[in-house]
């Protein structure tokens, strides 16, 4: 019942793939395959593709997100992109705190928190990523790590702002490895995240929050993952680069 209240989100994280020309081709394939989904469909291409895709996606049911943003409004931050720039270029969403950014670009719980605040203040929906490493999972630290990441990310974020946030649980050991978390296993962690939200905010808000799973989700395993009570969609890397695969995941979400 409560699961039905939460519109699923299928988000494609293209990472550093697709030049502007290639991006247009993929977006057109997606537009042909995805006509009137019941779930919300978002693609997150590289920054340079965003303005090019703005007109391509205009009037379609596919929304656009960025893979990162800076937390300051403007200024001397060479190489960075602000929330306002993203908004003006057609983004409605932004991924924040992806494990690759935490691992390779010094993203911390503090910068994740600042970026979330900037995103929601600028009216973007933040897709906030959390997840444990294999070592942390094997030493039974999953809950401890998730709790630290969620608390850090949501520090001083009030209920009203939280309503503009989607959480993505992405166990690092499952990203790009072909190893998916067992559906029931992923559901337990997403349920734990929901509990943390209920404690920090209200049970009602926890019930309506969308929590996505990410990590080697594909057209073969999507349905089982998406059927889980606490999983409200997917953040998809590799399988979002092939229009047919991504469209099948969208259909899987719509069939539940």
Please tell me the count of residues contacting ligand PGA according to CB under 6 A: 13
Q: Work out the end-to-end distance of the chain between its first and last CA atoms, rounded to an integer number of angstroms.
A: 12
Decide if 170 is catalytic. yes
- By C-alpha distance, which of 11, 26, 65 is closest to 242? 26
* Site for ligand PGA contains 235 (CB under 6 A): yes
* Site for ligand PGA contains 175 (CB under 6 A): yes
Q: Which residues ranging from 206 to 225 are in contact with ligand PGA (CB under 6 A)?
A: 214-217
Least separation, in Å, of the C-beta of 104 and ligand PGA? 12
* Site for ligand PGA contains 170 (CB under 6 A): yes
* Site for ligand PGA contains 66 (CB under 6 A): no
Least separation, in Å, of the C-beta of 182 and ligand PGA? 15
Torsion 17-189-211-218 (CA) sign: positive
Apex 95 CA angle, 224 and 251, nearest 5:
30
Backbone angles phi, psi at 183, to 5 degrees: -55, -45
| Residue 209 buriedness (CB in 10 A; 0-12 / 13-18 / 19+) | buried
* Site for ligand PGA contains 237 (CB under 6 A): yes
Q: Which of 98, 132, 136, 248 is catalytic?
A: 98
Torsion 195-181-106-19 (CA) sign: negative
* Site for ligand PGA contains 238 (CB under 6 A): yes
193 or 206, CB closer to ligand PGA? 193
**Of the listed pieces 84-92, 112-120, 145-153, 230-238, which binds ligand PGA according to CB under 6 A?**
230-238
Q: Find out whether 231 and 164 touch, Cβ atoms under 8 Å.
A: no
Least separation, in Å, of the C-beta of 232 and ligand PGA? 15
Q: Which of 56, 100, 107, 170 is catalytic?
A: 170
| CA–CA separation, 142 and 138 (whole Å) | 8
Least separation, in Å, of the C-beta of 170 and ligand PGA? 6
What secondary structure letter does DSSP report for 82? Answer: -
Would you please indicate which residues are annotated as catalytic (active-site) residues? 98, 170
Interface positions with ligand PGA (CB under 6 A): 13, 170, 175-176, 214-217, 235-239
């Amino acid at each position: 019942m409560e699961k039905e209240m939460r519109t699923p989100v299928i988000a494609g994280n293209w990472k550093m793939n697709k030049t502007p020309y290639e991006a247009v081709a993929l977006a057109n394939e997606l537009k042909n395959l995805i006509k009137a989904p019941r779930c919300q469909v978002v693609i997150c291409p590289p920054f340079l593709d965003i303005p090019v895709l703005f007109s391509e996606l205009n009037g379609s049911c596919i929304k656009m997100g960025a893979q990162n943003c800076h937390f300051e409004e403007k200024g001397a931050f060479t190489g960075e992109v602000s929330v306002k720039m993203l908004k003006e270029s057609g983004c409605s969403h932004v991924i924040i705190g992806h494990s690759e950014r935490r691992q390779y670009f010094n993203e911390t719980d503090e910068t994740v928190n600042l970026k979330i605040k900037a995103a929601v203040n600028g009216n973007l929906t933040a897709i906030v990523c959390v997840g444990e490493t294999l070592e942390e999972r094997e030493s039974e630290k999953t809950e401890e790590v998730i709790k630290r990441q969620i608390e850090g990310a949501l520090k001083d974020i009030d209920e009203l702002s939280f309503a503009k946030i989607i959480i993505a649980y992405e166990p690092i050991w499952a990203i790009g490895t072909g190893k998916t978390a067992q559906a029931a296993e992923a559901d337990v962690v997403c349920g734990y995240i929901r509990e943390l939200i209920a404690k920090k905010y209200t049970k009602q808000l926890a019930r309506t929050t969308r929590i996505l799973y990410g990590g080697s989700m594909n057209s073969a395993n999507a349905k089982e993952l998406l059927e889980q009570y606490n999983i409200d969609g997917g953040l998809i890397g590799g399988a979002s680069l092939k229009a047919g695969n991504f469209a099948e995941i969208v259909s899987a979400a719509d069939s539940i």
